[in-house]
Chains A and B, each alone.
Chain A
Amino acid sequence: DVKVTQSSRYLVKRTGEKVFLECVQDMDHENMFWYRQDPGLGLRLIYFSYDVKMKEKGDIPEGYSVSREKKERFSLILESASTNQTSMYLCASRELGAQYFGPGTRLLVL
């Protein structure tokens, strides 16, 4: 079975802090994705990566950056966290069309 893990299930940070969300997949997938999920807005794509050191902006990249130094790891970085970045963050990897999601990180920015 594909396994996608995220570094934290719950995270509380203060406004202005730099936040790292880590995602690791164990199936050698080339494509990895970061989404945020908010009530009434569904899932929105922040960034995705189709290879090591490659990244592409999704629909809402503002305020975020990403890093893909190794194939199995895709990191989402909030350079200076703001309260409007309080959300559920979901990482996924992809093979043969289907995406495999991690359990999610619920981030609260105070």
Chain B
Amino acid sequence: SQQGEEDPQALSIQEGENATMNCSYKTSINNLQWYRQNSGRGLVHLILIRSNEREKHSGRLRVTLDTSKKSSSLLITASRAADTASYFCATDARSGGSNYKLTFGKGTLLTVNP
């Protein structure tokens, strides 16, 4: 079952602009994560935000989490052509016992034009 849903499905911007992607989810979570996937490759973990955190930064990335609205956003500042990729949010919820599994959204395809 899909938990996170990214919005928009696709985003095209110019180099130097900021890119914002949103993620909504339905059930309680332990944490929410963002991943990046370059075309035809595996996913790379970008950042993790716990359910008791509201904002987190990592380099040019800023993630916010609003558990009351069950939503998160990923902001990439001063984008570069190399940021072109698909971005996925993944929600981490208890699957049983102490084991957690991630449920991924369908992703946002970001294109950064030089």
Residues of A whose CB lies within 8 Å of any CB of B are 4, 31, 33, 35, 40-43, 45, 48, 50, 56, 58-59, 88, 90, 92, 97-104, 106
Cβ–Cβ contact B40 & A104, under 8 A: yes
Q: A42-B104, A104-B41 are in contact. Are A31 and B48 (CB under 8 A)?
A: no
Cβ–Cβ contact B48 & A43, under 8 A: no
Cβ–Cβ contact A31 & B40, under 8 A: no
**Which of the residues B42, B88, B90, B95 comes within 8 Å of A104, measured between beta carbons?**
B42
* Interface residue? B44 (CB, 8 A): yes
Cβ–Cβ contact A100 & B45, under 8 A: yes
Cβ–Cβ contact B42 & A90, under 8 A: yes
What B residues does A59 contact at CB under 8 A? 1
Most buried by A among B1, B33, B42: B42
**Which of the residues B2, B31, B96, B105 comes within 8 Å of A97, measured between beta carbons?**
B31
**Which of the residues A45, A56, A88 comes within 8 Å of B103, measured between beta carbons?**
A45
What B residues does A100 contact at CB under 8 A? 45
**Which of the residues B33, B101, B106, B107 comes within 8 Å of A98, measured between beta carbons?**
B33
**Which of the residues A35, A42, A58, A98 comes within 8 Å of B45, measured between beta carbons?**
A98
Min CB gap B90→A, angstroms: 8
Q: Report the Cα distance A106→B41, complex, angstroms.
A: 10
Known A42-B88, A99-B35, A100-B45; further 9 A-B contacts with Cβ < 8 A: A35-B104, A50-B99, A56-B95, A58-B101, A90-B42, A98-B45, A101-B43, A102-B42, A104-B41
